[in-house]
Chain A
Amino acid sequence: MGSLFALLDIAQSGLAAQSAGLDATGQNVSNVNTPGYSEVTAKIETTETVDGFSGGAQVAGMNRAFDALTFGNLLTQQGLGGAADARSSALSQAESLVAPNGQTIGDNIDSFFQAMQSLETSPSDPSARTEVLAQATQLAQSVATAAGGLTTLRDSLLAQAQGTATQLNGELSQIATLNTEISRASAAGGSPTDLEDQRDELASQVSTQIGAQVITDANGNYTLLSSGTALVADGSAATVAVGVDGSDNLKITSTMPGGIANDVTQNVTQGTLGGLREARDTDIPATSAQLDQLAFGFANAVNSIQSAGYGLDGVTGRNLFLAPGSVVGAASAMAVDPAVENDPSAIAASTTAAGIPGGNDNAIALAALASQPFGASATPADAYGAIASDLGTAASTANAEQSLRQATITQAQSLNSSASGVSLDEQMTNLDQFQRAYEASADVLQTTNTLLGELMQDF
């Protein structure tokens, strides 16, 4: 049978329990805008009195709202989104190099052949010859600039990948530390919800950088998996390193403390590193190779005709462009041959020495290259158009993927937030509920106190 003193204890436990509920509500409201914050609720349980009667309430800890399924989906989407962002950004830069606004390589090809047509009309005109040299120089520079820009862009993407790895390693280390702290706190009976939130937020950032999935064990420890390997296990974090292999492609390794470096390059398809890798080692090299092919074929085609003709000075056998040694690197090395760059009379407009100065048959052949088949394309300008189109298609696909991922990330965030986020509407209700319950417990305490007072007066 209960007693008034027991009722005092019950009222006091009610005050403490409702106070804990108010604390949880206040914490939720305070963190409504905190990234990664999960709603908490006070875990209030009934206590039993020693004589078997239902007793008061006790706070068994704090419950953290968390749904592993929606959080896992969010990580997946963030990994895909990180890759899409990085690839889209890199390809936008590549586009601006290959097809800059204003004057593209295609425009320069057109201008070069326009100058050749003028030479065809006026083979002995010094200004027409000077214009051919000027346009040849302009064209070679635009091709070399684009090719050099792509090389620089690849270097820049390597540096970006290395910077990402540095940041990633810091985050992995923090997750490992949090694993240890959470495990310790849980073992001591605590509810380290704030630490778990921090760890989830870090896992989100890791996923954006390299893609991640997490497995939580019974002790609350994370094992963070990515690219086919564990990057965090219990209190240990791997070190991710980014370098280049013998083919100048990214080489990404993961090394656990005391372990050997594990080459995970081929598995890195998600996150910023995955996107950078695809843009740097697949998309951009494809464009560079196409530019090399264009430069190699174009320079050789022009040189073949030019060297067979005669300049105004009666000399034959001279190239217009530096003869490319090989396809690889032909674009970045494209330049007007120094032997002719300051000598307009070296432009071979005539096929014979006797045809000088009015013979234009070689100039006709040079100008006709503009409309002749070039590799797999109809003309040199078409070959450039195909390069730009291929790059544009890759960039367009990346942009569409980025846009799609923005939507799917938002959707995943919504689902995750629905499971674990804070609703101010609910918190307002909770606030009122706990406030009223606290007031009621206080009333019970006051009533019990009054009863005890009256009882004491009888003595």
Chain B
Amino acid sequence: MRITDSMRLSVDLLNESRASQNLYVLTEESSSGNLISEPSDNPNGFETLVSLDSQITIMQGRNTAMSTASGDLNTASDALASAGDILDQAQSLAIQASNGSYSATDRAAAATQVDALVQQMIQIGNTKGANGYLFGGTQTDTPPFDPVGNFSGNGAVKKIEVADGILASASVSGAQAFTAAGGSNVIADLQSLATALTANNVAGITASIAQMQSDQAQVSEVQVEAGALSANFQTTSALLTTSITSAESTASTIDNAATPAVYSELQAAQSSYQAAISVTQQVLSMRSFQSSIA
């Protein structure tokens, strides 16, 4: 084949251009740390990354929701434990006051203590969490219990999505814990005890002892539910965190430039580019030589 000067130069320029392009790509990858900066770099990889990013975002959102719900459930559990303590105190006062040695004055003093317990119970019923009142159902913006203990909330239980199409309870029902919806009206029962104490009504006081016991069980049942739900969220959250880590790892495998390999390729590309420039210089110097012998 007859070799002309423009052949030498055009082939050399093509190779130099390719070496330059390769160097550019590797420089971009090593500086950004990513193999995919636009879809054409790896169309299937880009599509997979979009899908993985979406899954990760959804799982992170669910984790955040579960974390918030778990916190609220723990707060509710603590509040219900306090409610149980109050009922325990009220039951103790009732037992003491049912003793025949107690005078009317003693029972009136006990009634005052029970009135205070009623106010504490109302405060517990109006406990707030991260997103409003915990025991009002969907009535989260106003106190579910008024100052005299009337309930204005509802029995709705908040749900959150923990997996595709799977909902889990993120709250417990205040109505079930404190009102007749759960069996007894706890605050009304406390108020009845106070009334019996004030009236020096021993039969009424005695009847309240069993009622306090029953109320404790009612509150305790909801407290256990809150604790169990919170524990479930923590377990699910841990599993979800593992899934997130796995998805992030998969995404990293697709997108992240393996630093040692890329640097190694970058050095090879630099050498290749320098060689291409050197060849160009030699091609041009051949022309100088030709000119000199002419």
Contact = CB atoms under 8 A, between A and B. Distances in A.
Nearest to A392: B39
A134 to B, nearest CB: 16
Interface in A276-324: none
Given A121-B160, A358-B137, A418-B1, A385 B50 contact: yes
Contact of B4 (A118, A360, A410, A418): A418
A104 B53 CA distance: 11
B204 interface: no
A406 B14 contact: yes
B131 A423 contact: no
B37 interface: yes
Interface in B44-82: 44, 46-51, 53-54, 57-58, 60-62, 64-65, 68-69
A368 B4 contact: no
Interface stretch (B5-13, B88-96, B205-213, B214-222): B5-13
Contacts of B131: 121-125, 358
A386 B51 CA distance: 10
Contact of A109 (B44, B47, B54, B132): B54
Contact of A118 (B14, B61, B167): B61
Given A368-B161, A388-B47, A428 B290 contact: yes
Main SS class of interface, B: helix
Which residue among A110, A378, A391 has the maximum number of chain B CB atoms within 10 Å of its CB? A110
Interface in B233-289: 287
A392 B6 contact: no
A117 B62 contact: yes
A127 to B, nearest CB: 11
A366 to B, nearest CB: 11
A392 B3 contact: no
A392 B38 contact: yes
A392 B40 contact: yes
B40 A395 contact: yes
A355 B159 CA distance: 13
Interface string B125-147: 00000111000111111000000
A331 B73 CA distance: 43
Contacts of A141: none
A388 B39 contact: yes
Interface string A83-116: 0000000011001101101001011011101100
Which residue among B7, B68, B290, B293 has the maximum number of chain A CB atoms within 10 Å of its CB? B7
Contacts of B293: 428
Interface in A376-424: 378-379, 381-382, 384-386, 388-393, 395-396, 399, 403, 406-407, 410, 413-414, 417-419, 421-424
A132 B84 CA distance: 40
Interface in B167-202: 167, 170
Contact of A367 (B47, B50, B61): B61
A370 interface: yes
B38 A114 contact: no
A343 B60 CA distance: 27
Interface string A218-254: 0000000000000000000000000000000000000
Interface in B88-141: 130-132, 136-141
Contacts of B1: 418
A79 interface: no
A413 B50 CA distance: 43
A424 B138 contact: no
A298 to B, nearest CB: 13
B203 interface: no
B161 A107 contact: no
Contacts of B14: 406-407, 410
A359 interface: yes
Contacts of B49: 385
Contact of A389 (B44, B64, B132): B44
A110 B60 CA distance: 11
A395 B159 CA distance: 45
A118 B65 CA distance: 7
A367 B60 CA distance: 13
A120 B159 CA distance: 9
A99 B39 contact: yes
A371 interface: yes
Interface in A184-200: none
A7 interface: no
Given A361-B159, A406-B17, A381 B39 contact: no
Contacts of B43: 388-390, 392-393, 396
Interface string A320-359: 0000000000000000000000000000001000111111
A32 interface: yes
Nearest to A121: B65
B172 to A, nearest CB: 14
A114 B5 contact: no
Interface in A412-442: 413-414, 417-419, 421-425, 428, 431
Nearest to B43: A392
Contacts of A261: none
A44 interface: no
Given A355-B156, A364-B167, A113 B50 contact: no
Nearest to B17: A406
B161 A364 contact: yes
A424 B290 contact: yes
Nearest to B294: A428
A407 B49 CA distance: 33
Given A124-B140, A423-B2, 15 more contacts: A106-B53, A113-B54, A121-B170, A123-B140, A358-B136, A358-B158, A361-B159, A382-B50, A389-B39, A391-B39, A393-B39, A396-B43, A413-B7, A418-B1, A423-B5
Interface of A: 29, 32-33, 91-92, 95-96, 98-99, 101, 104, 106-107, 109-111, 113-114, 117-118, 120-125, 350, 354-361, 364, 367-368, 370-372, 378-379, 381-382, 384-386, 388-393, 395-396, 399, 403, 406-407, 410, 413-414, 417-419, 421-425, 428, 431
The 6 A-B residue pairs with the shortest CB-CB distance in the complex, in nearest-first order:
A392-B39, A385-B50, A381-B54, A421-B4, A117-B61, A358-B140
24 contacts: A95-B39, A107-B53, A109-B54, A110-B58, A117-B62, A118-B64, A120-B65, A120-B161, A124-B132, A124-B140, A355-B156, A358-B138, A358-B139, A358-B156, A368-B164, A379-B54, A388-B43, A389-B46, A390-B43, A391-B40, A393-B43, A396-B40, A406-B17, A417-B7
